[in-house]
Amino acid sequence: MAKVLVFIDAPGDALKKGHLELLTLARSLGESVVALNGELSAAVSAAFGEYGVASVLRPSAADLDDYLVAPKAAFVAAAAQGSDAQIVLLDNSAEGREIAARAGIRLSAGVITDAVAVDADGTAHKSVLAGSYTTTCRATTAVAVITVKGNNLEPAAAAAPTTPEVLTVELPASGSSADARITARVQKVASGRPDLADARIVVAGGRGVDGDFSAVEALADALGAAVGASRAATDAGWISHDAQVGQTGKTVSPQLYISAGISGAVQQKAGMQTAKVIVAINKDAESPVFEIADLGIIGDLFDVLPQATEEIKRRKG
């Protein structure tokens, strides 16, 4: 049976849906082991047992979060070596992909990013070229490091819960001249909306909102959705850059993606092409987004979105 290592970073008081998806996937591939950076709360420990984790590995150094990704990559590599893992799974965030690349170098491992599924033999499946093709790939090395997009399988607890053993992985002291230290942090204001990368529904606005995201945000709140944006909208300063979806932003894979006022250039498609259902709203009938949309609405988003919001509220009320 293969050993599968899952890296989980700073889970807080409870595991996120994306974490549970990775644990579910890992269990389907073999014996799952977790490399945990952060506090191991009672709720998180219980969740590991519920999802069939065999052991939890924690770093000997407590200051990994004082630096950028280099110490975390070193921890993942050491955890993989110590547990004899053949497959290493990480989330597909920008940081997850960088940690995967750095850990891959340390492990002399093949690295696969943007996977939407992984088979028992380590074969990864990817959706490419704006969803036009599904490709399969597999690392030929002894260890494969794979980042997995969220919302591509339903979390499922193990049939038989476990009591994970907690072990320590020895690391060299952090703080070398090669490490970039974090000097300050600013608390992000909580919006009450789900995290963009894990959201089951995303409502995204682009150049067509002309600086006014109120209609997009109102629909998102009615649906319990996350708010996304195109690069044009974030570059214009209409919304923060952490809302950007696309090739140079976040990659999302929700059950429903609503695109409002976004042309759908290839850079945008790269970030949302694996959404299960795509609804596009644009005044321009020739917009590229309609090529991949499951449902297209040709119209002004400031007419369409408020009507949709009111109808959703009416049905919910």
User: Between β-strands 133-137 and 124-128, what pairing exists: parallel, antiparallel or unpaired?
Assistant: antiparallel
Burial of 3 (0-12, 13-18, 19+ CB in 10 A): buried
**Residue 108 annotated as lining a ligand binding site:** no
- Residue 237 labeled ligand binder: no
Residue 152 marked as a ligand binder: no
Q: Residue 245 gets which letter from DSSP? A: B
User: Is 136 known to sit in a ligand binding site?
Assistant: no
Within the chain, how many helices (H) and strands (E) appear? 8, 14
Is 248 annotated in a binding site? The answer is: yes
247 among annotated binding-site residues = yes
Cβ contact 207:232 at 8 Å: yes
Task: Please indicate if the annotation marks 193 as binding a ligand.
Answer: no
The strand ranges marked E within the chain are: 3-9, 31-37, 55-59, 87-91, 110-118, 124-128, 133-137, 144-148, 165-169, 201-205, 226-229, 256-260, 277-282, 295-298
**Residue 102 labeled ligand binder:** no
Q: Is 37 annotated as a binding residue?
A: no
d(CA 131, CA 272): 9
Task: Report whether 49 contacts 76 (CB < 8 A).
Answer: no
Decide the pairing of beta strands 110-118 and 124-128.
antiparallel
Please tell me whether residue 268 adopts helix, strand or coil conformation.
helix
Annotation: binding site for FAD: 207, 230-231, 244-248, 282
Annotation: binding site: 207, 230-231, 244-248, 282
